[in-house]
């Protein structure tokens, strides 16, 4: 009996660390351009607000692809899609390193966004199916930790790589790391054992989408994802430009401010422990309140305060995302909605928030300065708090 339990635990450990590896690659490939936006603007001869398209183009196409990848995984299975996602995104990442023009870069980043959709649309549903109920929070937190590591690497590695090798070298290095992580996921994550294939009929998909959108808890949780992601990404987009300008004049060293990002890596586990004690709703409210505190800290002019604010912001955002994404999967399973499709709709809203509010923050910075960026982020944070309150009220069995 003990050997059987030990073997099962080894399988679950492979799942957790394999998806952690995948989450790292996914967020690294998606967000490595963020600290390089000023360099992108110079390299391709575009404005600050235009340069954010190199990020928003990938997040927009990723969001659209999530509409299809989630349901596709409900029909065909989880693991094959995750493997293909990382390998394809690594290859496309290598291609972006050699993009000759701004428009070709945007095309490649758009295709990369489609490829990247395969992992997040499937990972949460796979975890839900392949890990025991008592391990769901822990497994979800481990996966989100991987995305946090990817986010940290995506914000810390590109700056030094860009200084050494320029845009081409930095992009090529990220592409190689993505491929290596894809191989790691391929080797570690076992085939599904508890997956149940759903009907491939279009009518069934549309009906399931309708059921998902009719559930007020799921809709509100999707909007929480959009608001928190929009506040976080928008502020980080604008921060790169703020630190390159007066009075800081950090140039390429502005990326070093993202040394605060690793503070957020343990946030999913901390948020998970709080949720086990007090429930997902109260824990998510704590996360949103902390998010607002981080935003306000970055309003200060002292560089240490800005870096501290970025650390608080990152910790709060990653903890809240871990809780809300797990809440979506749990709610979908309880009300009989396709988990993969519900997770896809959540991530659609999540990345749509990144695209829309990330670009808006860059425009606010360009037209009205940092106070305008702060105002937008605070409004989004307040909206997220109200939505969490609504989700708690609606979430009844």
Mean per-residue pLDDT over the chain, rounded: 84
Backbone angles phi, psi at 209, to 5 degrees: -60, -40
CA distances from 383 to 74, 223, 268, 351, 394 (A): 32, 9, 22, 17, 16
At residue 297, the pLDDT reads: 94
Extract the tokens encoding 377. Answer: 């982020």
The rounded distance, in Å, linking the Cα atoms of 62 and 187 is: 25
At residue 292, the pLDDT reads: 96
At residue 351, the pLDDT reads: 82
Q: Is 377 helix (H, G, I), strand (E, B) or coil?
A: helix
The rounded distance, in Å, linking the Cα atoms of 106 and 320 is: 30
Stretch 152-166: mean pLDDT:
79
Instruction: Classify the C-alpha dihedral 37-43-48-49 as positive or negative.
Output: negative
CA atoms within 13 A on the CB side of 65: 21
Q: Quote the radius of gyration of the chain (alpha carbons, Å).
A: 20
Q: Which CATH number is 1-195 given?
A: 1.20.1250.20
Domains in the chain: boundaries: 1-195, 201-396
Stretch 306-316: mean pLDDT:
91
| Lowest pLDDT segment from 26-30, 130-134, 161-165 | 130-134
CB 361 within 8 A of CB 92: no
The rounded distance, in Å, linking the Cα atoms of 136 and 332 is: 14
Omega before residue 258 within 30° of 0, cis: no
CA distances from 92 to 6, 26, 172, 218, 355 (A): 39, 13, 10, 33, 20
The rounded distance, in Å, linking the Cα atoms of 314 and 233 is: 10
Give percent of the chain above pLDDT 70.
91
The rounded distance, in Å, linking the Cα atoms of 311 and 304 is: 11
At residue 1, the pLDDT reads: 46
**Confidence band of 201 (pLDDT split at 50, 70, 90):** low
Stretch 98-106: mean pLDDT:
92
**Confidence band of 161 (pLDDT split at 50, 70, 90):** confident
By CB atoms closer than 10 A (0-12, 13-18, 19+), residue 201 is exposed
For the entire predicted model, the pTM comes to: 0.75
Stretch 210-239: mean pLDDT:
90
CB 19 within 8 A of CB 144: no
**Whose structure tokens read 């450990």?**
13
Instruction: Classify the C-alpha dihedral 299-381-363-152 as positive or negative.
Output: positive
Q: Is 382 helix (H, G, I), strand (E, B) or coil?
A: helix
**Confidence band of 235 (pLDDT split at 50, 70, 90):** very high
pLDDT of 396 above 80: no
At residue 391, the pLDDT reads: 94
At residue 265, the pLDDT reads: 78
pLDDT of 2 above 60: no
Q: Which pLDDT tens digit goes with each residue over 73-95?
A: 777 778 889 889 988 998 999 99
201-396 folds as Growth Hormone; Chain: A; (1.20.1250)
Extract the tokens encoding 19. Answer: 């998806």
**Confidence band of 11 (pLDDT split at 50, 70, 90):** confident
pLDDT of 14 above 70: yes
**Is-same-fold flag (1-195; 201-396)?**
yes
Under the phi-then-psi rule, with left for phi > 0, alpha for psi from -120 to 50, and beta for the rest, what region is 201? beta
Look at residues 67, 70, 90, 91 and name the one whose alpha carbon lies nearest to residue 81: 70
Stretch 22-34: mean pLDDT:
85
Extract the tokens encoding 101. Answer: 């023009």
Extract the tokens encoding 178. Answer: 């993505």
SS3 assignment for 158-179: HHHHHHHHHHHHHHHHHHHHHH
Q: Is 308 helix (H, G, I), strand (E, B) or coil?
A: helix
The rounded distance, in Å, linking the Cα atoms of 51 and 13 is: 40
């Amino acid at each position: 009996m003990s050997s059987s339990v030990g073997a099962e635990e080894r399988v679950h450990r492979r799942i957790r660390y394999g998806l952690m590896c995948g989450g790292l690659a996914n967020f690294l490939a998606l967000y490595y351009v963020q600290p390089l936006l000023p360099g992108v603007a110079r390299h391709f001869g575009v404005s600050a607000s235009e340069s954010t398209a190199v990020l928003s183009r990938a997040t927009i196409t990723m969001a659209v692809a999530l509409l299809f990848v989630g349901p596709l995984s409900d029909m065909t299975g989880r693991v094959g899609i995750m493997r293909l996602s990382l390998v394809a995104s690594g290859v496309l990442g290598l291609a972006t390193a050699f993009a000759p023009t701004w428009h070709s870069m945007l095309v490649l980043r758009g295709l990369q966004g489609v490829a990247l959709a395969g992992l997040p649309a499937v990972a949460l549903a796979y975890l839900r199916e392949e890990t025991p109920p008592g391990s769901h929070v822990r497994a979800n937190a481990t996966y989100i930790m991987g995305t946090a590591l990817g986010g940290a690497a995506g914000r810390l590695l590109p700056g030094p790589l860009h200084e050494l090798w320029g845009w081409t070298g930095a992009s090529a290095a990220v592409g190689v790391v993505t491929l290596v992580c894809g191989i790691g996921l391929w080797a570690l994550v076992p085939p599904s054992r508890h997956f149940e294939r759903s009907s491939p009929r279009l009518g069934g998909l549309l009906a399931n989408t309708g059921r998902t959108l009719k559930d007020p808890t799921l809709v509100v949780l999707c909007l929480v994802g959009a608001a928190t992601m929009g506040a976080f990404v928008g502020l980080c987009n604008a921060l790169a430009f703020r630190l390159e300008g007066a009075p800081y004049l950090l140039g390429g060293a502005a990326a070093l401010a993202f040394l605060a990002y690793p503070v957020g890596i343990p946030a999913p586990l901390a948020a998970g422990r709080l949720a086990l004690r007090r429930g997902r709703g109260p824990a998510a409210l704590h996360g949103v309140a902390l998010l607002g505190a981080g935003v306000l800290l970055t309003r200060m002019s002292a560089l240490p305060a800005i870096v501290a604010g970025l650390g608080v912001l990152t910790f709060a955002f990653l903890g809240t995302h871990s809780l809300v994404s797990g809440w979506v999967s749990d709610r979908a399973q309880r009300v009989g909605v396709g988990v993969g499709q519900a997770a896809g709709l959540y991530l659609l809203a999540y990345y749509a928030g990144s695209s829309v509010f990330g670009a808006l923050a860059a425009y606010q910075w360009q037209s009205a300065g940092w106070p305008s960026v702060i105002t937008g982020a605070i409004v989004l944070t307040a909206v997220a708090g109200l939505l969490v309150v609504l989700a708690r009220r609606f979430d009844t069995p």
